[in-house]
Chain A
Amino acid sequence: MKYFGLKVHEAHKLIKDREISSEQLTKSIMDRIEDVEGIVHGYVTVTKEYALKKAREMDKKIAEGEEPGPLSGIPCAIKDNICTKDILTTCSSKILKNFKPPYSATVYQKLEEQGCIMIGKTNMDEFAMGSSTENSGFFTTRNPWDPARVPGGSSGGSSAVVAADEALFALGSDTGGSIRQPASFCGVVGFKPTYGRVSRYGLIAFASSLDQIGPITKDVRDCALILNAICGHDPMDSTSVPADVPDFTRFVDKDIKGIKLGVPKEYYTMQIDDSVKKETGEAVTNLANMGAEKVELEMPYTAYALPAYYLINPAEASSNLARYDGIRYGFTYEDAENLLEAYKKTRSSGFGPEVKRRIMLGTYALSSGYYEDYYLKAQKVRSLIARDFDQAFKNCDVIVTPTAPTVSFRTGEKIDDPLMMYLNDIFTVPVSMAGLPAVSIPCGFVNGLPVGLQIIGKPFDEGTIIKVASAFERMLALDKVKPLFGSYVRGGA
């Protein structure tokens, strides 16, 4: 039987009713990986034996009478920057190609406790720096909708494997759009929670004040289920917030009559493809048809978000990535004559070009004499952007924008032009800068490629986002549309 196409809540029902076992489900996923991974290249590591063992253990527990929880026995994929004890965690970087952490991230521990079965670690842009997964130190992941195109990034592997039914759901991480933009490109649901909602302990840091872990799922109900499992205060993370976590599934399938939809004009007038603009515009109209009330907004600081982001993010990254010196773990350049050469050779051969670019940008932005003009000014801009959102949310409940200015582009198309690549995040970055929660859900297609709609919420109001996303999903039923692998040549493109 083919179970790989199931959603989390569907599989849960079958497991609960003892109609399928976790092992059957996991094996089905393994078969699927066998079939399509040659095209998708979504996984850095597939933990087949580990997964089957865990699945059998879960089945045994259920056979012994344990009542399966919503995630018991559910196979999932984990982005390769989330530490998993004794299992390779590479950040898709050569510098960590052999790194097996001696501890697990809090999120992974939570998923394990809930009975999730990890089936592998997914490919990403090296250290999560990128928007296409082309910056992986190992290989490029393909978009299941068209293998000649990128899946987006940096959580491109996680998004692609969910879209290709190689996992029931995945965890990704989002710094400036790294969950939402690939979810948009791959036609799946990707949720970035409020900064501080999910523990970052064990997430390999990129830009600490922006990084946040979130789910990538096949539909909004699954998204709510995963949020239930991973949200909450963690004493190991000083930036995690001790706020109450509601049952997010309560917000699924609810009426959205009277909900105020903020529509900021800046997001529809900046550099954006007409086709994408049209699709997202229609989405807003559809939401209004369901009873939501459209509110036009002005958010004047939006345009400054990207430049400010590209100072803060490299600055933090330059400091976070300084520890990879080859001395204690990871890749080491063996033949160095002295300490300085060991540092230089290890780091220059261990890191890829985009990582080096950000380290240099960030080091410069923090340097004495430049700090005030760059890093500090960027922080001020960041406060203004947050104020923009504060103002906007006085008049609306959620803000609706496109997730990305384009649909998926061809592999190689933008890789040599970093500035063009950075523009991918133009609509997601402001949200990250303000630390707000946002989801990307499929809202249509352009030339057979998915378009994503971004729904942004107030701090810690993930519930309202789920409510609006769920209503929208129900109306268009785009979660039922899947990429057709049949037409591909095996391993091709």
Chain B
Amino acid sequence: MSYEVVIGLEVHVELLTKSKIFCSCPTSFGDEPNTNVCPVCLGLPGVLPVINKRAVEFAILSGLALNCKVNPRSKFDRKNYFYPDLPKAYQISQYDMPVAEDGYLNIKVNGETKCIGITRVHLEEDAGKLIHAENGDYSLIDYNRTGVPLVEIVSEPDLRSHEEARVFLENLKRILQYTQVSDCKMEEGSLRCDANISVRLKGKKELGTKTELKNMNSFKAVQKGLEYEIKRQIDSLEKGERISQETLRWDEGRGLTVSMRSKEQAHDYRYFPDPDLMPLEVQQEWVEKLKGLLPELPLQKKERYITQYGLPEYDAEVLTFSMDMADFFEDCVKEYPEPKVVSNWVMGELMGFLNAERIDITETKVTPLNLAKLLHLIDKGTISGKIGKTVFEEMFKSGEDPEAIVEEKGLLQISDTKELEKIVDEVIKINPGPVEDLKSGKKKAMGFLVGQVMKQTKGKANPQIVNKILRNRLK
């Protein structure tokens, strides 16, 4: 039988504000445990929350970037539950009046564009972090993360495969990074993803029983977790079993999903409006002002790269993966207006080195201006394209100007015909075999002989001139 998969995602994203959502403690990651805390985020008796305006701004920006309607009035609610990482025993969140709702995000899967609905974007506070002793005797609590602002982004159940879910998540991440509301580092927990999954027979209207899958801590985990859970559900149905509504945890080590709690054990969070916070009134002017601050988003940028620069879709996609990469590309094109050449170098050499060194584009010593200079040197014939790659490697290592590198290392291309003739003659003399081959029509030998000249000149010979001389000599 043929099944249809239905997935909706709930994504938590830490906002890049300097201070926490309800107090002025810093939000920095990786500090000594329990150093970025105060009576307010520790939830000591008597303290009160005061909303961080910047956090609201970031939530609105997130909503706008996801084509949501920003609500003129939203409110904060308490989500009550006991856990040691939650010092007030309630999380301040938004229950039925989120900052923004009713948006969408277009994704492209297998060449087809699909519109995925965004149900809502709401603000809430993060909890602390538990560190369990290995022997299981005790747990330690780090409250540094307590009160870091989050937006929760909830998608409609519009995703039809784990592949679509992955692409959606990647697009979402890119949009939020572009908007600069979050760094979206899954490995640091600044982007976390839960999924609601169900399957149904193709053509059926009503949804199957869903499970909620948590604890997928990387893009790979999302992919693998969903894949596993979809298969598990279909296998169960095939065997005539029923899916039970429950919350599952992805066990990365064992590669399977484990039940955390059943529907009957589900928490009753006893949501109610937080009496300590006034409803959030958002003026339309503010929203308009923030709209003006939205950058060009990845999809728009990609389309523009295709039409404006005539790039293939693949190049446009790769170059717009991050705003920093895209900026690098465009800054370089401004100095060297051959977009496809620049694209080749950025995607080939630059990304190759970045990946090999495992560093981000923001950390490279190569500047767009220096890359443009390098490309001009190649165009002018000052260096060969092959030497260009050597120079680039040096630029990547030292950050130096390509002209300085060429001069310092004596990498100038040899275009002096007299000098090259001498070397060619030498090569002909010591390679009688290949010379004979070439004369008898074996074209492959030409490449070998040119290669020998390049070897003699350490790659500095101008290959066009070498070719010409060789052809003349061996006519």
Do the beta carbons of B51 and A323 come within 8 Å of each other?
no
Note all chain A residues with C-beta closer than 8 A to B80.
318-319, 322, 366
User: Which of A199-220 touch B at CB < 8 Å?
Assistant: 200-205, 207-209
Do the beta carbons of B272 and A105 come within 8 Å of each other?
no
Binds B, one of A111-119, A232-240, A386-394, A472-480: A232-240
Contact among A82, A91, A322, A375 with B82 in the assembled complex (CB-CB below 8 Å): A322
Do the beta carbons of A103 and B276 come within 8 Å of each other?
no
A328, chain B: closest CB distance, angstroms: 6
Note all chain B residues with C-beta closer than 8 A to A208.
275-276
The answer, yes or no, to whether B207 is at the interface (CB within 8 Å) is no
User: Which of B85-112 touch A at CB < 8 Å?
Assistant: 87-90
The answer, yes or no, to whether A422 is at the interface (CB within 8 Å) is no
Given A319-B80, A322-B89, A339-B84, do A99 and B45 touch, yes or no (CB 8 Å)? yes
Do the beta carbons of B270 and A236 come within 8 Å of each other?
no
| Alpha-carbon distance between A236 and B277 when the two chains are bound, in angstroms | 11
Given A101-B39, A322-B90, A325-B89, do A201 and B48 touch, yes or no (CB 8 Å)? yes
User: Which of under 10, 10 to 19, 20 to 34, or 35 or more describes the interface residues of A?
Assistant: 35 or more
Do the beta carbons of A238 and B51 come within 8 Å of each other?
yes
The answer, yes or no, to whether B203 is at the interface (CB within 8 Å) is no
Note all chain B residues with C-beta closer than 8 A to A103.
39, 44, 47
Residue on B nearest A209 in the bound complex, by CB = B275
| Alpha-carbon distance between A485 and B50 when the two chains are bound, in angstroms | 48
The answer, yes or no, to whether B78 is at the interface (CB within 8 Å) is yes
Secondary structure type dominating chain A contacts: loop
Do the beta carbons of B89 and A202 come within 8 Å of each other?
no
| Alpha-carbon distance between A237 and B275 when the two chains are bound, in angstroms | 11
Given A105-B46, A201-B46, A237-B48, do A328 and B87 touch, yes or no (CB 8 Å)? yes
The answer, yes or no, to whether B378 is at the interface (CB within 8 Å) is no
The answer, yes or no, to whether A371 is at the interface (CB within 8 Å) is yes
Residue on B nearest A83 in the bound complex, by CB = B46
Do the beta carbons of A343 and B82 come within 8 Å of each other?
yes
| Alpha-carbon distance between A374 and B51 when the two chains are bound, in angstroms | 29
The answer, yes or no, to whether A488 is at the interface (CB within 8 Å) is no
Given A83-B46, A204-B46, A236-B50, do A367 and B270 touch, yes or no (CB 8 Å)? yes
The answer, yes or no, to whether A297 is at the interface (CB within 8 Å) is no
Note all chain A residues with C-beta closer than 8 A to B51.
238
User: Which of under 10, 10 to 19, 20 to 34, or 35 or more describes the interface residues of B?
Assistant: 20 to 34
- Return the CB mask of A163-191 against B: 1 if under 8 Å, else 0: 00000000000000000000000000000
Contact among A207, A238, A325 with B277 in the assembled complex (CB-CB below 8 Å): A238
Do the beta carbons of A238 and B45 come within 8 Å of each other?
no
Given A239-B276, A323-B88, A323-B89, do A368 and B43 touch, yes or no (CB 8 Å)? no
Given A208-B275, A238-B276, A323-B88, do A328 and B270 touch, yes or no (CB 8 Å)? no
Contact among B50, B87, B268, B275 with A323 in the assembled complex (CB-CB below 8 Å): B87
Note all chain B residues with C-beta closer than 8 A to A83.
45-46
| Alpha-carbon distance between A318 and B88 when the two chains are bound, in angstroms | 12
A227, chain B: closest CB distance, angstroms: 21
- Return the CB mask of A146-164 against B: 1 if under 8 Å, else 0: 0000000000000000000
The answer, yes or no, to whether A327 is at the interface (CB within 8 Å) is yes
Note all chain B residues with C-beta closer than 8 A to A81.
46
User: Which of A305-362 touch B at CB < 8 Å?
Assistant: 315-316, 318-319, 322-323, 325, 327-329, 339, 343
Note all chain A residues with C-beta closer than 8 A to B48.
200-201, 236-239
Given A238-B51, A238-B277, do A319 and B46 touch, yes or no (CB 8 Å)? no
A351, chain B: closest CB distance, angstroms: 14
B52, chain A: closest CB distance, angstroms: 12
Note all chain B residues with C-beta closer than 8 A to A322.
80, 82, 88-90
Given A238-B50, A322-B80, A322-B89, do A101 and B44 touch, yes or no (CB 8 Å)? yes
Do the beta carbons of B268 and A235 come within 8 Å of each other?
no
| Alpha-carbon distance between A366 and B267 when the two chains are bound, in angstroms | 13
Note all chain A residues with C-beta closer than 8 A to B43.
323
Contact among A96, A204, A235, A371 with B272 in the assembled complex (CB-CB below 8 Å): A371
Note all chain B residues with C-beta closer than 8 A to A96.
45
The answer, yes or no, to whether A89 is at the interface (CB within 8 Å) is yes
| Alpha-carbon distance between A201 and B277 when the two chains are bound, in angstroms | 13
- 14 A-B pairs besides A323-B87, A339-B84, A371-B270 with CB distance below 8 A are A82-B46, A101-B45, A103-B47, A201-B46, A202-B46, A236-B48, A237-B50, A316-B275, A318-B270, A319-B89, A323-B88, A325-B82, A368-B270, A375-B272
Q: Which residues of A contact B (CB under 8 A)?
A: 81-83, 89, 91, 96, 99, 101-103, 105, 200-205, 207-209, 235-239, 315-316, 318-319, 322-323, 325, 327-329, 339, 343, 363, 366-368, 371, 375
CB-based closest 8 A-B pairs: A322-B89, A209-B275, A366-B270, A208-B275, A204-B45, A202-B46, A83-B46, A204-B46
